[in-house]
Every structure is written in structure tokens, then in C-alpha cells.
Chains A and B, each alone.
Chain A
Amino acid sequence: MVELQKQEYIIEARGLVKKFGFKTALRKVDLFLKKGDCLALFGPNGAGKTTLIQTLCSLMRPTSGEVVIAGFDTRYDREALHKIIGVIAHDTFLYNNLTASENLNFYGRMYHVTRLNEKIKELINLVGLNAYINDQVQTFSRGMQQRLSVARAIIHDPAILFLDEPYTGLDQQGIEDLKQLLMKFRNQGKTIILTSHNLSRGLELCNQAAILNAGVLIYQEDIANIKKDDFKQLYLKLTGEKTWPVQAPLRASSKNSRRSCGKISYPN
């Protein structure tokens, strides 16, 4: 059975637990994805999305449980694993004192990319930074850095992409460009895990959706089986996340609040 799963799934995470001191960030998370799957991972702030991504891509060692990606155990086969994954995270992983081209050159050499100069030009063109190829990254806006970060993550043409809030800092054109790029990757059969707070954007791109709340994977479903209009309500119901319209009037009516043991409670 296990052997069958190993052949069937490209990403297998079993019983993942991650603790930071007394705080448990992931609680027995099981996640299985087939080749070409695109999973949108949703969850409120502090749900453990970034921890899960970092554990899956071997940046963090799980407290217990195991992650096997394309047959490589993240604990023992990290170098082989890193050749086939690309990661875009909150941090861009770019060296500010190097130019866009130098950054890509550095990472390209680390990944032993062949025909690197051509690849750099191609990627810079793809992310729309042609005019800034020789500018230092510290002169870039957040959105431009994020674009370059996308180029960095795909310089070695990875088969699996981990995208932790990839739209952070991008302008509307950047979001649209990245969306098109991710669509292209999905059509190429790349496996993608994407975390986002934007439900519609995630649902639009992916073929699976999952919700992580307080370190527990409480929902995973094929998007074909999801009614997109109802998903927001389902998400709010499952995570217990309050929407702004509920909280805003309560905050405004703080004169009705009373303080008890250092906590502020609001009347219903």
C-alpha cells in the first residue's frame, strides 16, 4: 500500500507535527498530492501555512512525521530534493547589493544551470525587468523584488513550486503576469502548492483547495466539487475567522466594552 502511494503521489506528508517550544504550529498534518496537482492552501494568520511550506521544502525539520517529495525524504535527501523544487516566500532571498543579473547568476551557478546567460535574459524578460537588469536590487520596489524572486525560484526549471503568498507587494499588472505564469506552469504539469489569503485568486488557479486552521488541516477538496460562491462562507465557518463588518462596529462602540482581568470584552 505504501509502495503504491509512493508511486502515486509526488508530495507525501504524513503525521507532520511541528512544535516551537510549547507552541504547536502543525498538528498531525497529512497531505498527499499527485504530479500536476495545484493546491491552494488557505488559512487565517498564524494557522501554520508558512510553517507547513517550510517543512515541506525542508527548510524546517518536523518535530515528528515525515515528508517525501518525488521519492526524496526531506530529512536525508535534501540536495537531490532542492534540484526539483522552487520556493517563493515572504522574503525574496535576494542579495540587495547585487544587481538583478548578478543575483540570478549567483543562484543559477548554485543550481548548475546550463546556458546561464541566455536563461537569465529569458527570465528577466519573462518577469518584465529588462530595463533594470543591471540595477542593484536595493533600488527596486517591493513588487520588482518579488518579480525577480519569481525568476530566482524558477531559474533551475523546478518540477514542484512552493509559493508562500507570492502576490505580496505586486501591483495589478504584476499580479496578472504572475497569474498567467502560474497558469502556464500548471499547464506544463508542474506541481504547485500556493498559500494565499485571497480565496478567489487561489480557487481560480488551482485544482484543489485546503484549509489549515490552528495547525490542523481541516479541509481538502477538489475544486471541481466546490461551489466557489459558497466557499467564502465555508471558509469563515470552518476557521471561525471574523469578517471586518462584524468587528468594526464593536471596536467603534468601545464605550460599551468593559475590561476584565486585562481582557476587553464587548457586549453581544
Chain B
Amino acid sequence: MCLFSFLVLIIFSFAFGTGLKSFKGIIPGILWVAFIFSGLLGLSRSFGVERDKGTLPGLLLCPVSPWEIFLAKMIGTLIFTVIMEIFTLLVFTILYNQNFLPFLLPLGLVIFLGTLGFSIIGTIFSAMSSTTRTRDVMLSILVFPISVPVIIAAVKATGLILDGTSIQTVFSWLKILVAFDFVFLLLAYLTFGFIMEE
């Protein structure tokens, strides 16, 4: 994941350079493209071990609810994705000579909420697509369209934070991110048992 995000940043640095006049405007886009594309690699491994080795029934036979399995998988994905994002921010700082330190707290909050939403959707669809033959392609096809609201909200909020706008302006986008996370977490709670069975 880290290597992939590093390559994405390298490609963007060649494509746009840093001398672009409106470079600041595309920073959020570059960051989130790197986050989402690299995160997808991690998502495809979320149920990878169970899928490849046929251990999923063994896991489902343990005295834990499907919801607990979902939470464990989702938190695992979240942790690895956040590590990748910290790495990406560091590489971005070096490659593009950007200083994120003044915005670290609000930026961290947006990245966390965006990544949480992405991890929730990704874990649901990773479980759904794990039994299909074209699972890796299927995962991208399923996850990207559903993640559009979270990506838009995260990119907009990141842009506003980097512009130095007040937190009140960013707040409306944060509310969308929180609502999105909540709705999909609820959806996962209600449906993950059925997804696991079939």
C-alpha cells in the first residue's frame, strides 16, 4: 500500500510538477487519489486470507457475531490505511515541499472520517465480492461509485482546511462525512450476517 501510494505521488509529481500556478487547488485531489487507490489494495486483502485458504467458515463457526467479525476486519483495514496515509503525507511533504503541520488536527480529523467511511464500505463489499471469481475488479466497481459522497466531502473539506478557512465552513462537510459513516456502519450492522451466510 505504501509503495503504491509513493508511486502515485511520483507519477503526479511528474505529471503536474510543483511549479503549477494552481497547484494548491489540486493537492486535496492528489492526496485522496493516493489514499483511495492505495487503500483499495488493502481492502482486497481484507478477506484475502479467508478467501484463499477457505478459513471463512472456521471463523464464522466461532462463537462471535458476524458484526464482531466485521468490526475486527474494518478496524484492521482502518489501521493499515491510516499508517499508509501518514506515510503518504510524509512523502507528499518531501516531494511537493508542503507543510501540513499548521493544519494537522483538522486535517487529521477529515482524513480519519473519510478513511473510516471508505473502510466501512470497503469491508462490506470486500466480504460480498470475496466469493466471486472476478473479486478484485468487482471490488473496485462496487466500492468507487458508493464512495463518491465520502470522497467529494473529504476532498472539499481537505481543500478548505489547506486554504486556512475557518472550521465552521468545513463543518458542513464534516457533518456529511459523519452521517455517511454512521449510515454505512448501521447498514453493516443490519446486513453483515446475511452477507457472510451467502
Contacts and interface: CB of A to CB of B under 8 A. Distances in A.
Interface of A: 54, 57-61, 78-80, 82-83, 85, 87, 89, 91-97, 107, 110-112, 152
B49 interface: yes
A82 B197 contact: no
Contacts of B49: 95, 97
Given A91-B57, A93-B59, A110-B62, 15 more contacts: A59-B57, A59-B197, A78-B65, A79-B65, A85-B61, A87-B61, A91-B55, A92-B54, A93-B57, A93-B58, A97-B49, A107-B58, A107-B62, A110-B59, A111-B63
Nearest to A109: B62
Contacts of A110: 59, 62-64
B133 interface: no
Given A61-B197, A94-B53, A95-B49, A80 B58 contact: no
Contacts of A54: 57
A93 B54 contact: yes
A57 B197 contact: no
B63 A79 contact: yes
A83 B63 contact: yes
B62 A59 contact: no
B60 A59 contact: yes
B7 to A, nearest CB: 26
A94 B58 CA distance: 8
Given A79-B63, A111-B63, A60 B58 contact: no
A60 to B, nearest CB: 7
Interface string B38-74: 0000000000010001110111111111000000000
Contacts of B54: 91-93
A110 B69 CA distance: 11
A23 to B, nearest CB: 15
Contacts of A83: 63
Nearest to B196: A59
B57 A82 contact: no
A144 B197 CA distance: 29
B63 A96 contact: no
B53 A82 contact: no
Most chain B CB inside 10 Å of its own CB: which residue of A83, A91, A93, A95? A93
A148 B167 CA distance: 57
Nearest to A149: B58
A58 B53 CA distance: 20
